[in-house]
Amino acid sequence: MSKIVATAVMSGAAKILADVKEKYKVILNAKGPEFETVFPGTAYYLPMIFALTGVKIQKLKDIGNFLSYAEKLIHNPPLEKNWLPYLGDALDSGLSTLMLEEILMMLKYIEGTEPKEGYLGFLSDTQMRTLGIQLVDGRMPGFAAILGAPKDAKAAVKIVRELQEKSILIFLSGSSNGYTMKKHLEAEGVEMGWDTYIVPLGEDTESTIYALDWAIRSALTFGGLHGGAGQKCLEYCRDRVFAFGLAFGELDDLKYATGAGAIAMGFPIIADTDIPEILPTGVCTYEELVKEKDLNKMVSRAIEVRGVKITVSKPPIPVLYGAAFEGERVRAVDVAVEFGGKYTKAFEYVEGKELSEITDGKIEVIGKEIDEVEEGGKLYYGMVAYVAGRNMQKDFEPVIERQMHRLINQAAGVMHIGQRNIVWLRISKEARKNGFKISDLGRIVHTKFKDEFPSIVDKVEVHIYTQKEEAEKYLGRAMELYTERDKRMGAMTDESVDTFYSCTLCQSFAPNHVCIITPERLGLCGAYNWLDGKAAHQIKPTGPNQPVVKGHVIDAVIGEWKGINDFVYKSSNKTLERFSAYSIIKYPMTSCGCFECILAVLPGTGGVMVVDRTFMEMTPCGMTFSTLAGVVGGGQQTPGFLGVGLNYLVSKKFISAEGGLKRLVWMPAQIKERFRAELLERATELGVPDLLDKIADEKVTNDIGKLIEFLSEKKHPALEMGELV
Ligand code: SF4
Ligand code: ZN
């Protein structure tokens, strides 16, 4: 490695050490050694330090002890004469820099100077889990940490748009000569936030640690690795987290030192200035430090160096397209034309046809096109997509239809909300100016259906009805189809099929985790039900969703079958011998990390509580969602705890081995409201129609003692059912 780089890294590390020591002294004086050091929303203490060394920094005094250790990792700059090109020293200093940056930001949190206004600062465990499936299924193929900014705002936008179109999540930190990406993007009117894949962390170089903290936590959350397994955590990042850095402008010592830390994690850096490159492969998968002075080539160079696999294909429409545009809103003042909502009716459906009945690629708008309506006009909207294919089945209609929302929403300047007959759709003036037409909605559906369901869909023909009478005529057909389907799905039980589906999509992050998806229990991420599994298998027979024949029944009560056990054993890399579908106590299903909610047994109540990942407060089990998630994740079986999809709460098979819904004693109010009707139905079937009033929520209490009082006052059935553990 170049001596210039090594020298810069080591003096950068020494500088941050001095900064930390100074600030630590001040804060320690002000707050005392027992003052707590916690980042918001994480169960992993100071995650980088915890992952790399196993040290749990919980109080200010812990930092003092740790500093001497970090100091030892920083090597002296290479001597003038006997200099050996030793990369290891620089990487150690880089990792030390990251840990010191983490401490510095912690101290700034205590001081009240972080996060800076308009920036996100430290990212919570929940923010990571929420993206779980996108990370593993390739929808979000990589992450870019942008350090600093190019001089020109237009160039900045171009780079960000290029990343967005490739669905790469972008973290922004640092500045270059006073320029920041955030200011550039604001000036150019680019919407930032999780929804648009642009996450501004902070203006300091040290803010980069927030992105790296996020990456290293995936090794703990999804990888099932323990704090202190430093080398393994670094390898996990290199092999599974497809991140890279883009550095703009001159690099100072601290930027070099931070970059060296990122490289040690396997993340290469692409810089736009004349830096000495580090090209031998090994620490990263390919090269480590690369220069690319042509801004137009920087993104593609980074993708190549990191080996990011991009699979997104763009439909032939005149606006940008990609998952990063999915969350973007179209405000009332920017609307060119609107469908549904308060004003008109809007619906969508997919219907299977014979191959001979439809013409592939035919897209018809029946009624007005975008250039025939006045500004901000309202139209009816009925999108009917006919699909045909040799392997098409009636059961796949809803699976394909469910994708319409996401696919249409991914067009820049198009806002799509809801599904079936509660669609609400807006097309922006900007999109219209770029030449976007109503018929382009059909083009999106045509291209993407064939792209995402290649072995099911051979032909797609789309009719879009924007004229009232015509639209209403097809709405009738839509309602018929919806009812028919609900009946079919509702009648389906675990007993009515002999085959379940597996999902091992999350193994790219949690190597031993397997979901078994049954008609009455969906995947724990909430994104895959039994029909989705079936369709996915049809699309990709060797993919992550495999049919699993139940086989001989071992225990009907807990839901244990010979065929399922054999499959789970094999596909969990022989880590799991027994599996039950309906019990939280006996051989419960494992959890990867992207569960929508967690069930936990509450000793003393005879019952269980449930908490979903949006609930931030304390729960009666004495842990927040984040802390609980740390206990449950990583592909392990944890009796007494279970990660599940939200819809499982209203399934007849909801922990039926233990008595089902009658065991539920506490849940967040928001979930209770959202599922009120279905919960009521289940409760009535179980003979306790007033069960919902007996289940506490955070408005009643978050405290286990008070909860028990409440339960006895209300005579909650769980109290009588006996302890679960
Ligand atoms: Fe991951 Fe299970 Fe969801 Fe599949 S169903 S994506 S394995 S959580
Ligand atoms: Zn998962």
Concatenated DSSP letters of 614-653? T--S--TTS--HHHHHHHH-SSB--TTEEEE-GGGGGSTT
Question: Residue 136: which of 220, 232, 242, 233 has the closest Cα?
Answer: 242
664: buried, middle or exposed (CB in 10 Å: 19+, 13-18, 0-12)? buried
- Does pLDDT of 718 surpass 50? yes
Residue matched to tokens 């970090």: 70
b/e per residue 557-579 (b: at least 16 CB within 10 A):
ebbbbebbbebbbebbeebbeeb
The answer, as to whether pTM is greater than 0.75, is no
Most confident of 2-11, 87-96, 443-452, 502-511: 443-452
Cα of 353 from ligand 1 centre, angstroms: 31
- DSSP-derived secondary structure letter, 79: P
Cα of 507 from ligand 2 centre, angstroms: 8
Cα of 405 from ligand 1 centre, angstroms: 20
Atom of ligand 1 nearest to the CA of 526: 3
Residue matched to tokens 């998630």: 629
Q: Which residue has the higher pLDDT, 76 or 9?
A: 9
628's tokens: 């609980």
- DSSP-derived secondary structure letter, 380: -
State the average pLDDT for the chain: 92
Strands (E) located in 90-197: 143-147, 169-173
Question: Residue 96: which of 62, 56, 69 has the closest Cα?
Answer: 69
Atom of ligand 1 nearest to the CA of 507: 7
Contact 589, 602 (CB under 8 A): no
**In whole angstroms, what is the distance from residue 472 CA to residue 462 CA?**
17
> Between the CA atoms of 364, 365, 367 and 371, what dihedral angle is there, to the nearest 10 degrees?
-140
- Does pLDDT of 526 surpass 90? no
The CA angle 389-390-396, to the nearest 5 degrees, is 60
Q: Which residues lie below 8 Å from residue 300, measured CB to CB, with a gap of 6+?
A: none
Whose CA is closest to atom 1 on ligand 1? 506
Cα of 447 from ligand 2 centre, angstroms: 28
Contact 74, 14 (CB under 8 A): yes
- Does pLDDT of 717 surpass 90? yes
Ligand nearest to the CA of 536: 1
**In whole angstroms, what is the distance from residue 243 CA to residue 266 CA?**
8
Q: Which residue has the higher pLDDT, 72 or 339?
A: 339
- Does pLDDT of 137 surpass 70? no
Atom of ligand 1 nearest to the CA of 136: 6
**In whole angstroms, what is the distance from residue 310 CA to residue 9 CA?**
32
Residue 84 pLDDT: 43
Atom of ligand 1 nearest to the CA of 513: 7
Cα of 526 from ligand 1 centre, angstroms: 8
Whose CA is closest to atom 3 on ligand 1? 525
Q: What is the pLDDT of residues 591-646, one digit of tens each?
A: 988 899 999 999 999 999 999 988 989 999 999 998 898 888 888 899 999 999 99
Contact 548, 500 (CB under 8 A): yes
Cα of 164 from ligand 2 centre, angstroms: 23
> Which amino acid is located at 610 in the chain?
V
Residue range 17-29: average pLDDT? 96
272's tokens: 């736009």
Tell how strand 363-366 and strand 414-417 pair up.
Answer: unpaired
Atom of ligand 1 nearest to the CA of 594: 8
- Does pLDDT of 486 surpass 90? no
Whose CA is closest to atom 8 on ligand 1? 525
Residue matched to tokens 């987290």: 241
Which one of 134, 222, 501, 506 would you pick to mutate in the ligand 1 pocket, going by the greatest count of ligand atoms within 8 A of its CB? 506
Which three-class secondary structure state does DSSP give residue 665? strand
Cα of 324 from ligand 1 centre, angstroms: 22
82: buried, middle or exposed (CB in 10 Å: 19+, 13-18, 0-12)? exposed
Contact 621, 628 (CB under 8 A): yes
Cα of 14 from ligand 2 centre, angstroms: 40
Q: What is the pLDDT of residues 217-268, one digit of tens each?
A: 989 988 889 999 999 999 999 998 999 999 999 999 999 999 999 999 999 9
- 459-465: strand order across its sheet: 346-352, 381-388, 459-465, 363-366
Cα of 400 from ligand 2 centre, angstroms: 22
Specify whether the backbone of 90 is left (phi greater than 0), alpha (psi in -120 to 50) or beta.
alpha
Cα of 544 from ligand 1 centre, angstroms: 9
> Which amino acid is located at 322 in the chain?
G
Atom of ligand 1 nearest to the CA of 524: 8
- Does pLDDT of 667 surpass 70? yes
Ligand nearest to the CA of 593: 2
Number of H helices, E strands in the chain: 25, 23
Q: Which residues lie below 8 Å from residue 26, measured CB to CB, with a gap of 6+?
A: none
**Which H or E element spans position 153?**
helix 153-165
**In whole angstroms, what is the distance from residue 673 CA to residue 668 CA?**
9
Ligand nearest to the CA of 515: 1
> Percent of the chain scored above 70 by pLDDT?
97
Whose CA is closest to atom 4 on ligand 1? 503
Residue 18 pLDDT: 95
Q: What is the pLDDT of residues 147-197, one digit of tens each?
A: 999 999 999 999 999 999 888 999 999 999 999 999 999 999 999 999 899
Residue range 394-399: average pLDDT? 88
Cα of 306 from ligand 1 centre, angstroms: 26
**In whole angstroms, what is the distance from residue 152 CA to residue 484 CA?**
56
Atom of ligand 1 nearest to the CA of 514: 7
Which one of 525, 546, 596, 648 would you pick to mutate in the ligand 1 pocket, going by the greatest count of ligand atoms within 8 A of its CB? 525
**In whole angstroms, what is the distance from residue 405 CA to residue 462 CA?**
15
**In whole angstroms, what is the distance from residue 609 CA to residue 720 CA?**
16
Residue 581 pLDDT: 97
Which one of 218, 222, 515, 613 would you pick to mutate in the ligand 1 pocket, going by the greatest count of ligand atoms within 8 A of its CB? 515
Whose CA is closest to atom 5 on ligand 1? 523
* Helix pair angle (253-264, 87-111), 10° resolution: 110
Ligand nearest to the CA of 510: 2
**In whole angstroms, what is the distance from residue 322 CA to residue 91 CA?**
36
CB-based pocket (< 6 A), ligand 1? 133, 503-506, 515, 523-525, 527-528, 592, 594
